[in-house]
């Protein structure tokens, strides 16, 4: 298959691209290498795949309508995995227009490209953030997601609604994946794992929000990538999933459209996460206990039964194993 992967220099996108290339697919990798975080890290991720004979780099901005349209016209991808986005809940409080440009304008450009190129399946990144302050655990795709509490979350929910509209009007299959706290080697420096490790190694305090009373479905990168690729290979139909006579809101009676949670089905406390990190670093963290941050939620926990039943998704990496692998990579990459 010829697959367009957006965000191909990103944490998830670079690994997805690598797996697709290893199995024999052709990959067109779109990434602007934005300076939101360390560009060198992005370049080093890209270096792992850029010389592959089946990889084509497209260093363009997802919000550039003409450039994206030309990319689809030139390459005519059969599948698209859209992972490019302006990430980060807290950054959305400071720079909202970054989210409008990348997550809204950019996503419409992807949808238009898929429409005109006859793409067979679009898989796109949504987020567990869409669940807002939902207190029902675990989070299910059958739950209401109409009250996001950050612009980042709202932009991801908007992506889901736009995808349904295009699937309905133009009949191309779309699958949205609500990611839950991804971590691992080559991860994002703005995420907790990176921030905590750097601070502990430097003897600096770490900020522990909500006084440590947080839980997350921490999900190892390899488990995420497996689910993304499996989803690409299983485009949805318009046949709805029903339960007790009720239509599942994550499917559609009129469109080849599905939404899935993708993450670990085991919620781990933040304090346990820090404890395992301390064990692997051989150092104790200096904890700066802080109140909840605006736009954040105290807990996330993924119900992944639908994805398991549909594509055989089964996350297997424990926090203990995943953190160990991350620390080994971090110490080697930064020569710490």
Q: What are the residue numbers of the active site? A: 152
Is residue 300 within 8 A of residue 179, CB to CB? The reply is no
Q: How many CB atoms lie within 10 A of CB 51?
A: 7
Who's near 268: CB < 8 A, 6+ residues apart? 215, 216, 217, 218, 319
Q: How many CB atoms lie within 10 A of CB 53?
A: 7
How many whole angstroms from its chain centre is CA 27? 18
Secondary structure (H, E, C), the chain:
CEEEEECCCCHHHHHHHHHHHHCCCEEEEECCCCCCCCHHHHHHHHHCCCCCCCEEEECCCCCCHHHHHHHHHHHCCCEEEECCCCCCCCHHHHCHHHHHHHHHHHHHHHHHHHHHHCCCEEEEEEEHHHHCCCCCCCECCCCCCCCCCCHHHHHHHHHHHHHHHHHHHHCCCEEEEEECCEECCCCCCCCHHHHHHHHHHHCCEEEEHHHHCCEECCEEHHHHHHHHHHHHCCCCCCCCCEECCEECCCCCCCCCEEEEEECCCCCEEHHHHHHHHHHHHCCCCEEEECCCCCCCCCECCECCHHHHHHHCCCCCCCHHHHHHHHHHHHHHHCCC
Classify strands 79-82 and 2-6 as parallel, antiparallel or unpaired.
parallel
């Amino acid at each position: 298959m010829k697959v367009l992967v957006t965000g191909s220099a990103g944490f998830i996108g670079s690994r997805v691209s690598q797996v697709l290339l290893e199995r024999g697919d052709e990959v067109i990798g779109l990434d602007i290498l934005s300076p939101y975080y360390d560009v060198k890290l992005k370049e080093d991720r890209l270096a792992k795949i850029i010389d592959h004979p089946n990889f084509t780099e497209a260093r363009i901005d997802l919000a550039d309508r003409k450039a994206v349209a030309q990319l689809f016209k030139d390459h005519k991808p059969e599948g698209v995995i859209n992972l490019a986005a302006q990430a980060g809940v807290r950054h959305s409080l400071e720079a909202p227009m970054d989210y409008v440009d990348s997550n809204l304008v950019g996503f419409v450009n992807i949808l238009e490209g898929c429409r005109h190129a006859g793409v067979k399946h679009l898989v796109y990144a949504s987020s567990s953030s869409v669940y807002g302050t939902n207190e029902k655990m675990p989070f299910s795709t059958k739950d209401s997601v109409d009250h996001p509490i950050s612009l980042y979350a709202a932009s991801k929910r908007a992506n889901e609604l736009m995808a349904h509209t295009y699937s309905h009007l133009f009949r191309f299959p779309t699958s949205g994946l609500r990611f839950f706290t991804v971590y691992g080697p080559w991860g994002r420096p703005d995420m907790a794992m990176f921030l905590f490790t750097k601070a502990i190694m430097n003897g600096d305090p770490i900020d522990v929000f909500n006084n440590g009373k947080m839980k997350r479905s921490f999900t190892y990168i390899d488990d995420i990538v497996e689910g993304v690729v499996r989803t690409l290979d299983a485009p949805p139909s318009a046949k709805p999933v029903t339960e007790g006579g009720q239509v599942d809101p994550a499917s559609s009676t009129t469109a080849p459209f599905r939404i899935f949670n993708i993450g670990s089905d085991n919620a781990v406390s933040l304090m346990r996460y820090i404890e395992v990190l301390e064990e692997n670093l051989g150092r104790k963290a200096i904890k700066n206990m802080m109140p909840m941050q605006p736009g954040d939620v105290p807990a996330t926990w993924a119900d992944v039964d639908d994805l398991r039943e549909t594509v055989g998704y089964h996350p297997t990496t424990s926090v203990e194993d995943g953190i160990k692998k991350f620390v080994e990579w971090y110490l080697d990459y930064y020569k710490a």
